[in-house]
């Protein structure tokens, strides 16, 4: 009588098959795999895209399933990136400093080493002191814990305050956007302790693997991103498969009804908001070592708006829709803005895609919202329905 | 019969308008009661107060044999105490199947973690079948609730209330927009439900109230104007003046 989880959710199986096939293909075609059709930088782009797909899945859960249009999830993504970036930068700088000090006749004191590292990292913002938030930067384990804890706690506190006051709809969106903007503006300051608008850089160099070629590192991160996306997808599909999915979708469609059925709507929203924030943080921690650099501009509210656009174009309320939306739109975006798309010469005017891509994206967003509210993922409904 | 819900001396004001004015009313266990009254008499506000949506300015709302005050509880806590509410417009989860709608309403632990770990049981499935049978939705269980007819949606919502297994059902205008046969069936469902629990029906339609054949409370300007059998209240001079005189029902 009781069907297994996979049997009830065939799309999970199809998704995992597609993801495995794609991952295998990329590994074989990469420089590390030997065929070398795909350049290392393109493998990194694909790996980053998988991280964006993961945060899009989280966004779909919080918005498409639970109806909370959060414009703050990219802030959690950025926090995850900063948390891992601090360790990467500290550990790498420490290695360099120790090498350069090794030639001195008198062995350096721990204080001298610490000062030299501080000088290297914070010289750019005119300081050499380690701010308090770097207290755990020398520990990979603790910084990995920060990847999960900081977004989780921030979402928990923010969500508790917002949901408890029954802030909903567009007001909640504005509130989350304000949080994102405040965080970005704070990080832009030189005395924020995170190098102001310089951000953290050199994150592609993994301490301890200095001699490993980037081709190999890129594949390792690509595989890790693919695994995280697969695991995150299965986790959310499982979470929303049974009664929890019913309640969460019920909150989206009619909050009051769910409340009068005896469910404490606020605690459900808080749970979903916090869990998706944590997953966003993990996605960010995998993304930025592949990007190599993180700066406060990444957290700006516009990033979270793009995230909502991806999910809307891909199709809200279905996890694979979010993956498709994030992958298609972000890859197209880098193709258009990276000069990959040929300019169109109209005689009197030349359309340069680096400028016009945003217009095209905006128009597609409007078109999807008006004419295809189910997004690209909605096409699958036609395929399924055609079968006898 | 023991008192299940006691509302006493309750008043509530919205922007200077006194929606409920020193209202006192009691409901016993396992009774069927109709609340009637002209528009603006405070019928819906009364429901809002009992279910925790609106906080009154003064007065007491006392529930059950342990005499709990409902005023300090949230909507979800009041629902868990055993008060179910049906909205005027049919409010079901249109995206989900009839079975999912009923499963969500079934009396089970309501916390998020209990719900995540909840797995289907034969006992719950049987309970859903029973309720579907009771509300005439047995052959609709796999359909999406959005596809149901207006009357079926109303029954589904009543079924969801029954699934909660409440001790008090507040039902707001269940017969609105129903055909004659649908009304008869709705009357049957409500009368049967009232055998084991208190059912309070807010209704405009006098014919429907007559068919319920129960004690009637007439509200006017936020307080009780008359109470008794339908024949008793409809022969009351003040009731005729304020309500029947202006209504086409």
Q: Is the pLDDT reported for residue A290 higher than 60?
A: yes
Q: List the B58-63 sheet strands across, edge first.
A: B17-28, B3-14, B58-63, B68-69
Q: What confidence score (pLDDT) does residue A259 get?
A: 93
- CB contact (8 A) between residue B112 and residue A267: yes
How much is the average pLDDT of A82-96? Answer: 93
Q: What confidence score (pLDDT) does residue A249 get?
A: 95
- CB contact (8 A) between residue B116 and residue A262: no
Please name which of B8, B11, B39, B82 lies closest in space to residue B248, comparing C-alpha atoms.
Answer: B39
Distance CA B194, CA A50 (A): 57
Distance, in angstroms, between B244 CA and closest chain A CA? 33
pLDDT in tens, B183-225: 888 999 999 999 889 999 998 788 888 888 899 999 888 889 8
- CB contact (8 A) between residue A242 and residue B111: no
Q: Is the pLDDT reported for residue A381 higher than 70?
A: yes
Q: Is B9 exposed, middle or buried (0-12, 13-18, 19+ CB in 10 A)?
A: exposed
Q: Which two tokens stand for residue A28?
A: 């074989």
Q: pTM higher than 0.80 for the full model?
A: yes
- CB contact (8 A) between residue B120 and residue A2: yes
- Please report residues of B whose CB lies closer than 8 A to that of A1: 122
Helix (H) or strand (E) holding B202, with range, is strand B198-202
Distance CA B139, CA A88 (A): 61
3-class state of residue A101 by DSSP? helix
Contact by Cβ (8 Å): B20, B32: no
Q: Is the pLDDT reported for residue A278 higher than 60?
A: yes
Closest by Cβ to A242, choosing from B80, B91, B118: B118
Distance CA B193, CA B189 (A): 6
Please state which of the ranges A17-31, A118-132, B42-56, B75-89 shows the lowest mean pLDDT: A118-132
- CB contact (8 A) between residue A246 and residue B100: yes
Q: What confidence score (pLDDT) does residue A88 get?
A: 95
pLDDT in tens, B53-94: 999 999 999 998 888 899 989 999 999 999 999 988 888 999
- CB contact (8 A) between residue A244 and residue B115: yes
pLDDT band for position B163 (cuts 50, 70, 90): very high
Contact by Cβ (8 Å): B49, B60: no
Distance CA B92, CA A263 (A): 15
pLDDT in tens, B113-144: 999 988 888 899 999 999 999 898 999 999 99
pLDDT band for position A3 (cuts 50, 70, 90): low
Mean pLDDT, all residues of chain B = 88
How much is the average pLDDT of B6-28? Answer: 90
pLDDT band for position B245 (cuts 50, 70, 90): low
Q: What confidence score (pLDDT) does residue A233 get?
A: 96
Select the residue from B100, B119, B159 to test the A interface by mutation, using most A Cβ atoms within 10 A: B100
- CB contact (8 A) between residue B76 and residue A262: yes
Distance CA A61, CA A243 (A): 15
pLDDT in tens, A155-166: 999 999 999 999
**Count of alpha carbons within 13 angstroms of residue B175, beta-carbon side:** 25
- Please report residues of A whose CB lies closer than 8 A to that of B120: 2, 242
Q: What confidence score (pLDDT) does residue A386 get?
A: 57
DSSP A188-223: HSGGGSS-GGG-EE-TTS-TT-TTS-HHHHHHHHHH
pLDDT in tens, A30-49: 887 777 788 889 999 999 99
Q: Is the pLDDT reported for residue B20 higher than 50?
A: yes
Q: What confidence score (pLDDT) does residue A224 get?
A: 97
Q: Is the pLDDT reported for residue B244 higher than 80?
A: no
First to last CA, chain A: 24
Residue with the bigger pLDDT between A237 and B203: it is: A237
How much is the average pLDDT of B21-33? Answer: 90
Q: Is the pLDDT reported for residue A119 higher than 60?
A: yes
Distance CA A31, CA A341 (A): 25
Q: What confidence score (pLDDT) does residue B247 get?
A: 47
In chain A, pLDDT over 70 holds for what percent of residues?
98
- CB contact (8 A) between residue A244 and residue B93: no
Q: Is the pLDDT reported for residue A388 higher than 70?
A: no
Nearest CA in chain B to A237: B116
Distance, in angstroms, between A260 CA and closest chain B CA? 6
Q: Which two tokens stand for residue B152?
A: 């079926």
Nearest CA in chain A to B79: A262
- CB contact (8 A) between residue A261 and residue B119: no
What residues does A152 pair with on adjacent strands?
none
How much is the average pLDDT of B97-120? Answer: 90
Distance CA B89, CA B154 (A): 8
Helices (H), B110-241: 112-116, 122-134, 150-163, 180-193, 206-212, 230-234, 237-239
pLDDT band for position A1 (cuts 50, 70, 90): very low
Distance, in angstroms, between B102 CA and closest chain A CA? 10
Chain B residues with CB under 8 Å of a chain A CB are 51, 53, 74-77, 79-80, 84-85, 87, 91-96, 100, 103-105, 110-112, 115-116, 118-120, 122, 160, 164
Q: Is the pLDDT reported for residue A340 higher than 80?
A: no
Q: Is the pLDDT reported for residue B231 higher than 90?
A: no
pLDDT band for position A363 (cuts 50, 70, 90): very high
3-class state of residue B144 by DSSP? strand
How much is the average pLDDT of A281-295? Answer: 96
Distance CA A349, CA A361 (A): 20
Q: What confidence score (pLDDT) does residue B1 get?
A: 60
- CB contact (8 A) between residue A260 and residue B51: yes
pLDDT in tens, A212-223: 888 899 999 999
- Please report residues of A whose CB lies closer than 8 A to that of B87: 256-257
CB count, 10 Å around CB of A42? 15
In chain B, pLDDT over 70 holds for what percent of residues?
97
Angle at A265 between CA B59 and CA A172, to 5 degrees: 100
Distance CA B78, CA B205 (A): 28
Nearest CA in chain A to B93: A250
Helix axis angle, B122-134 relative to B150-163, nearest 10°? 130
- Please report residues of B whose CB lies closer than 8 A to that of A373: none
pLDDT band for position B16 (cuts 50, 70, 90): confident
Distance CA A49, CA A179 (A): 25
């Amino acid at each position: 009588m009781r069907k297994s989880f996979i049997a009830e959710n065939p799309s999970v199986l199809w998704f995992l098959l597609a993801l495995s096939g794609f991952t295998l293909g990329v590994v074989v075609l990469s420089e590390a795999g030997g065929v070398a059709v795909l350049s290392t930088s393109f493998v990194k782009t694909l790996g980053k895209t998988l991280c964006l797909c993961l945060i899009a899945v989280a966004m779909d859960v919080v918005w498409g399933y639970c109806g909370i249009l959060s414009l703050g999830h990219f802030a959690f993504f950025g926090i995850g990136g900063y948390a891992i970036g601090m360790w990467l930068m500290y550990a790498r700088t420490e290695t360099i400093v120790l090498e350069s000090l090794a030639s001195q006749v008198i062995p350096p004191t721990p204080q001298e080493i610490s000062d030299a590292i501080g000088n290297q990292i914070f010289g750019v913002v005119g300081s050499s002191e380690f701010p308090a938030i770097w207290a755990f930067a020398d520990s990979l384990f603790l910084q990995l814990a920060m990847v999960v804890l900081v977004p989780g706690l921030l979402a928990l506190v923010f969500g508790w305050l917002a949901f408890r006051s029954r802030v909903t709809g567009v007001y909640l969106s504005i509130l989350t956007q304000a949080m994102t903007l405040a965080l970005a503006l704070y990080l832009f300051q030189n005395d924020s302790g995170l190098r102001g608008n310089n951000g953290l850089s050199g994150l592609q160099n993994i301490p301890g693997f200095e001699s490993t070629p980037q081709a190999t590192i890129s594949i390792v991160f690509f595989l890790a991103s693919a695994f995280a996306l697969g695991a995150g997808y299965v986790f959310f599909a499982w979470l929303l498969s049974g009664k929890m999915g019913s309640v969460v979708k019920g909150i989206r469609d009619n909050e009051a009804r769910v409340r009068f059925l005896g469910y404490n709507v606020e605690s459900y929203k808080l749970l979903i908001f916090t869990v998706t924030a944590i997953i966003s943080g993990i996605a960010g921690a995998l993304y930025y070592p592949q990007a190599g650099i993180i700066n406060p501009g990444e957290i700006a509210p516009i990033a979270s708006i793009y995230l909502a656009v991806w999910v809307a174009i891909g199709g809200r309320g279905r996890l694979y829709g979010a993956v498709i939306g994030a992958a298609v739109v972000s890859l197209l975006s880098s193709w258009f803005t990276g000069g990959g798309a040929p300019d169109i010469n109209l005689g009197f005017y030349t359309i340069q895609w680096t400028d016009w891509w945003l217009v095209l994206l905006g128009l597609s967003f409007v078109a999807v919202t008006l004419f295809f509210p189910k997004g690209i993922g909605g096409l699958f409904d036609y395929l399924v329905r055609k079968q006898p | 019969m023991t008192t299940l819900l006691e509302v006493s001396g309750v008043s509530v004001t919205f922007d200077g308008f006194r929606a409920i004015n020193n209202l006192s009313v009691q409901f016993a266990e396992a009774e069927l009661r109709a609340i009637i009254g002209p528009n603006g008499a405070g019928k819906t506000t009364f429901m809002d107060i009992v279910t925790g949506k609106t906080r009154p300015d003064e007065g007491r709302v006392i529930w059950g044999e342990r005499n709990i005050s409902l005023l300090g509880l949230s909507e979800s806590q009041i629902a868990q105490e055993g008060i179910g509410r049906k909205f005027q417009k049919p409010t079901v989860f249109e995206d989900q199947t009839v079975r999912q709608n009923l499963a969500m309403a079934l009396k089970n632990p309501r916390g998020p973690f209990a719900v995540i770990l909840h797995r289907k049981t034969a006992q719950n499935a049987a309970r859903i079948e029973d309720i579907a049978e009771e509300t005439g939705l047995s052959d609709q269980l796999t359909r999406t609730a959005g596809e149901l007819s207006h009357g079926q949606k109303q029954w589904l919502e009543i079924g969801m209330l029954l699934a909660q297994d409440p001790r008090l059902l507040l039902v707001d205008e269940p017969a609105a927009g129903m055909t004659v046969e649908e009304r008869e069936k709705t009357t049957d469902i409500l009368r049967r439900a009232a055998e084991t629990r208190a059912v309070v029906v807010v209704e405009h339609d006098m014919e429907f109230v007559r068919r319920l054949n129960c004690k009637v409370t007439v509200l006017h300007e936020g307080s009780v104007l008359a109470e008794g059998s339908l024949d008793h209240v409809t022969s009351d001079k003040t009731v005729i003046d304020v309500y029947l005189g202006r209504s086409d029902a």
